[in-house]
Amino acid sequence: MPYPANELAIYIHWPFCKSKCPYCDFYKEVRKDVPQDEIIAQYLTDLQKYHKMTSDRTIKSVFFGGGTPSLIEPRNIEKILNKIQQLWPIKSNIEISLEANPNTHYQTLFSDLRLAGINRLSLGIQALNDDDLRFLGRSHDLATARKCLNEVIKTFDNHSVDLIYARPTQDIKQWQNELNEIVTYGLKHISLYQLTIEPNTVFARKNIKPLDDDNAVKMYNLTRNFLAQNGYEHYEVSNFAKHGFQSLHNLTYWQGGDYIGIGKSAHGRLKLNNRFITTVYPFIHEEISPQERAEELLIMGLRLTQGINLQEFENICGLPFYQCINKQKLQQLKELGLLHETDSHIYPTYDGMLLLNQIVVELCA
């Protein structure tokens, strides 16, 4: 479905963590003395600034990410959500998500978050065995992960979990066991990320090597087939959902919708008066060209199994899709069985999903 031009998503970034995982390359701060009330007050001020630019929009989703946003006191989450509701009209089916880590859990955490206004909880488990939890630098154990999963299921109607696969010593049987367990919880959404070793991470400095490509591909194919058999639609490279439970907020990014980012390192994309604006904390704006926006739409849109809606692509960036790509390369990619083309869409095939980075480079050449 196209993203309506009058709708807006809001991303709230909480960069603070109890510890930093060795695979993580996101901007994060590990601090014990976080001046939470002061930071929240700045968030409210920033929301007010962005309202002046987007007062005609309706809010479709709010996403608290990080970092570890489950460290935000629920009373402060409520303050943020109340401010958003004061400033903008809100869609009746608004999705309000928060990422939580098991290491922040206390007895009433999830019920407190629900009362504060969160209606979708995403739990960062990452592994379902203690050895790999330790390897990944997670400060929770498997027993805590399972306890949190059960509480999330009881507390929320919409829920998601993150897992990391293709860990260096992982084999197919171990991954199958984790998949067997995770589907028993009845989660509405599952995000599964292949472990990559990013520069400047602890893993990179320790020269940790990821699982070889052949076994990583086998795990990816196993995952897609197994989750499909268990009622999960594979709708984006790393994301699987029960019918009607795709991440509305993340679809904003992949489909080229407008969003603002609040908090350190947060960024946004806005279309204002037919101009394309990128925003970066703290309230820095830069105009980009239609061609630059088209490249972003290409990179993000091909992550979806339904691919790029050609008419919507042109509606957003003002340029025909075929004017923005190498048509000869497109034909070659189709002949190789990596892309499929219809009158209305361009989308990656089953094999194309495994080579998206290469496909994008070819199309933009």
Q: What is the pLDDT of residues 293-346, one digit of tens each?
A: 999 999 999 999 999 999 999 999 999 999 999 999 999 999 999 999 999 999
Q: According to the model, what pLDDT value does residue 31 have?
A: 78
Range from 146-150, 187-191, 207-211 carrying the lowest mean pLDDT? 207-211
**Which residue from 299, 248, 346, 345 is spatially nearest to 9, judged by alpha carbons?**
248
The pTM for the full model equals 0.95
Q: According to the model, what pLDDT value does residue 4 have?
A: 65
Distance separating alpha carbons of residues 132 and 107, to the nearest angstrom:
26
pLDDT of residue 358 exceeding 80: yes
**Residue 105 confidence class, pLDDT cut points 50, 70, 90:** confident
How does the average pLDDT of the chain come out, rounded?
94
pLDDT of residue 3 exceeding 80: no
The total of other beta-carbon atoms located within 10 Å of residue 343's CB is: 6
66's enclosing H/E stretch is strand 58-66
pLDDT of residue 57 exceeding 80: yes
**Residue 58 confidence class, pLDDT cut points 50, 70, 90:** very high
- Average pLDDT for 6-29: 87
Q: According to the model, what pLDDT value does residue 282 have?
A: 84
Could you tell me the residue ranges of all domains in the chain? 7-251, 295-365
In angstroms, what CA-CA distances link 279 with 18, 68, 90, 137, 283? 28, 22, 22, 32, 6
Q: At what angle do helices 142-155 and 109-116 cross, to 10 degrees?
A: 40
Q: Decide if 34 contacts 42 (C-beta within 8 A).
A: no
Fold of 7-251: TIM Barrel (3.20.20)
Q: According to the model, what pLDDT value does residue 283 have?
A: 86
pLDDT of residue 25 exceeding 80: no
Fold of 295-365: Arc Repressor Mutant, subunit A (1.10.10)
- Average pLDDT for 137-163: 96
**Residue 21 confidence class, pLDDT cut points 50, 70, 90:** confident
Q: The sheet that has 308-309: what strands, in order across it?
A: 308-309, 345-348, 339-341
Q: According to the model, what pLDDT value does residue 28 have?
A: 65
Residue entry with tokens 């929301």: 47
Range from 120-129, 152-161, 205-214, 291-300 carrying the lowest mean pLDDT? 205-214
Phi, psi at 102, each rounded to 5°: -60, -25
- Average pLDDT for 94-120: 96
∠6-64-83 over CA atoms, to 5°? 60
Tokens of 81: 């959500």
Range from 33-37, 55-59, 242-246, 249-253 carrying the lowest mean pLDDT? 33-37
pLDDT of residue 1 exceeding 50: no
